[in-house]
A = this chain, B = another copy of it.
Amino acid sequence: MLDDMNPGRVQKAPENFLDREGIHRAAREAREGRRDFIRAAFASAAAAVGGAALAAQPAGKGDPAILELPEHSRGLGQPVALEGYGKPSKHEANVQRRRSPGLTQTTQASVSFAPLQSLFGIVTPSGLHFERHHQGWWDIDPSRHRLMINGMVKASKVFTMDELMRLPSVSRFHFIECGANTGMEWGNVAVPTCQYTHGMLSCSEFTGVPLVTLLEMAGADFKKGRFLLAEGADGSSMTRTIPMSLVESGEVLVAYGQNGEMLRPEQGYPLRLVVPGVQGVSWVKYLRRIEVGDQPYGTKDESVHYVDLLPDGTHRQYTSIQECKSVVTTPSGGQMLLDKGFYSISGLAWSGRGKVTRVDVSVDGGRNWREARLQGPVMSKCLTRFSLDWDWDGKPALVQSRATDETGYVQPSYRELRAVRGTRSIYHNNAIQSWMVEESGEVKNVQLG
């Protein structure tokens, strides 16, 4: 998707990703006992806001205020239903999805990244879900929205939202990853935080109607009609070919629900396609039409965009499955370890081909590996949280994770990936990520050859 960005500009390190000074100031105050460096290992990864927010209420040793009962233990608090729809704590204002400074020329054909370094478990709060729009987002009136099924069918059908929502639905947890996630790393840019290296990744419980149900209702020709065109209603007229083989399994959903409520406008409200394991661009938002056809459609969004430039100058097309991948989110770039001692290394692993079966973690740049714990339930084409105990001796360390999926596929190193794919791609980078922990405790993104 990052085709809006000028590849020439990407080679220089992006600016303003990180308020390094703010982090150092907060760490210094914490070490001096003037404040609890809240979420130490988790320190603000884009701290321009965070520095200020974190420093707002210095407290701790020697502060007479701490000897008194705090106001919240004496007073009357806020009422129930103060807001019919609640919000995060004001102390979490720094946990935001963020646009990458200078990455795209407009903010409508652009992307915002989920703050992976601040998240727990596998569910991405819908308010922090990454965004990728080709022509901006809309809040479409669902009472006027329609979905058409046409092409190689007995009778074209048009569904209202009412009609769709009366049909049998399923709910499933799946990750969605933009094909361009980690795209800046192809060129050795080493974007400083995992929000920017891996944050075009989110995971939700999706609810919707299996697309195969709608195709059956329209009398689709499953024998000849081996391809589907999915079309969105927004101005970008996003169109993608979906192989019928994916749909027949029942996995592909026409979804209206996400994490218990209706889809968010930025995620395609009121209707989006959910294509588990496949790159995000195929999860067509504002879905208005599915056409059944007998060959791939070769749309602009798949023949020109979302293709991989290979070392021999040709393009690899129609590569849409997101291969097995993982990233350590704690510790990760932009964070700071305050002192040596125990840490719980934690991260996310996923595969577009099924379940993650194993994650190994190295703290010495891949010389030695230890098997991490996987947090259940481990679900197919879903994020899996892993963790590993680590006693940091205060010396420089190189932290990596390497995931394996149920097909036996093992996440490659940059060396292995580049041997096949070169360095000029934008999409489909699933290489092992390396974070350097320096003696100062500062964590930086480094690329090993």
Please report A residues at the B interface, Cβ cutoff 8 Å: 30, 35-42, 54, 57, 59-60, 66, 70, 72-92, 95-99, 106-108, 110-112, 118-129, 131-133, 135-144, 160-162, 165-171, 173, 205-207, 233-235, 237, 256-257, 259-266, 269-270, 286, 338, 341-344, 346, 375, 377, 379, 385, 387, 389
Contact = CB atoms under 8 A, between A and B. Distances in A.
25 contacts: A36-B161, A72-B138, A72-B233, A73-B237, A76-B235, A77-B108, A77-B135, A78-B108, A78-B266, A79-B108, A83-B127, A84-B97, A85-B128, A86-B128, A88-B264, A119-B260, A120-B207, A120-B257, A120-B260, A121-B207, A122-B171, A123-B123, A123-B259, A259-B259, A377-B377
Contact of A387 (B168, B261, B262, B346): B168
B98 A165 contact: no
A143 B35 contact: yes
Contacts of A379: 377
A144 B235 contact: no
Given A86-B264, A169-B344, A91 B141 contact: yes
A373 to B, nearest CB: 8
Contacts of A77: 108, 133, 135-138, 234-235
Point out which of A37, A39, A120 has the most chain B C-beta atoms below 10 A from its C-beta.
A120
A60 B98 CA distance: 38
B126 A125 contact: yes
Given A39-B162, A129-B86, A170 B375 contact: yes
Contacts of A78: 108, 136-138, 265-266
A39 B111 CA distance: 31
| Count of this chain's copies in the oligomeric assembly | 2
Contact of A87 (B60, B127, B136): B127
A50 to B, nearest CB: 12
Contacts of A107: 79-81
B387 A169 contact: yes
Given A66-B144, A137-B78, A86 B260 contact: no
A343 B60 CA distance: 59
B40 A162 contact: yes
A379 to B, nearest CB: 7
A72 B145 CA distance: 11
Nearest to A266: B86
Contacts of A122: 171, 205, 260
A240 B305 CA distance: 59
A169 B79 contact: no
A173 B342 CA distance: 26
Given A89-B139, A136-B79, A40 B260 contact: no
A125 B261 contact: yes
A122 B260 CA distance: 6
